[in-house]
Structures are given as C-alpha cells and as structure tokens.
Amino acid sequence: MKANRGRDTQPELAVRRLLHAVGLRYRVNFRPIPRLNRTADVVFTRQKVAVFIDGCFWHGCPEHYQRPVSNREYWDPKVARNIARDLDTTRRLVSASWIVLRYWEHEAPEEVAKSIAACVKQRVG
C-alpha cells in the first residue's frame, strides 16, 4: 500500500512542472470555492478549471485498486467514502460552473499535462 497520500505526489509534481514549462500559472492544493471544504490539486482560478490527480489506492482506481488483505472492514468503507466524496465534489464544482478534470496517478504525466493545457487554453476568453 502506498503511503504517499495527499499532496505533492510524484505524478502530481511531474504534471505541475510540465504545466509550468508551457507557461501556465495555477494554484496548488487550493479550494476552488472558498466556502466549500474541498481542495483540488491544481486550480486555474481565472479559467475556472479544477484538476484532481487521484491516487490509485485512495480513490479506488478500477485498474489498480487492490483490497488490502487485512482490516477490510476499515478499508472498504473508507475507499468507498472517498469515491462518493469525489463524485460529490465534481458535482458541486460543475454546478458552480467549474470545469473538473480528473486523472489517475498512473496516467502518463505528459498526457495529463497536455490534456489540462488544452482545456485551460480553450477557457481563456
């Protein structure tokens, strides 16, 4: 099980570096909606684009999530809650006119950054 929960994981850092390299500027670990207690990994405030790079374990990646052998009565509901919370976060942001981009940490940082950059550039009026 990976211990790299939360902020500044390697895939996230790689994506941020690539975005920065193409001249994009963004907030990191930032609440898109201040009164809503949900933090996105990378946030473009002007373009209203919120990016989440979800950990395969914590967010239940369909390709990589493996149920832990021990303590399932703890982990199963916990991961299920995370997934439900992710859906809820997406729904709330979308209803406030944000674009929500979600990726898995296993995705290639180059592809992720390319996809984010394309979306953000489209949003600039």
Residues of this chain that interact with Zn ion (CB under 5 A) are 56, 61, 63-64, 104, 106
Backbone angles phi, psi at 46, to 5 degrees: -65, -40
Q: Which is nearer to Zn ion, 30 or 104 (CB)?
A: 104
Shortest distance in whole angstroms from residue 108 CB to Zn ion:
12
∠ CA(13), CA(17), CA(21), 5° rounding? 170
**What ranges make up the beta strands (E) of 1-125?**
27-30, 40-44, 49-54, 99-104
Q: Which is nearer to Zn ion, 63 or 73 (CB)?
A: 63
Shortest distance in whole angstroms from residue 50 CB to Zn ion:
20
Shortest distance in whole angstroms from residue 53 CB to Zn ion:
11
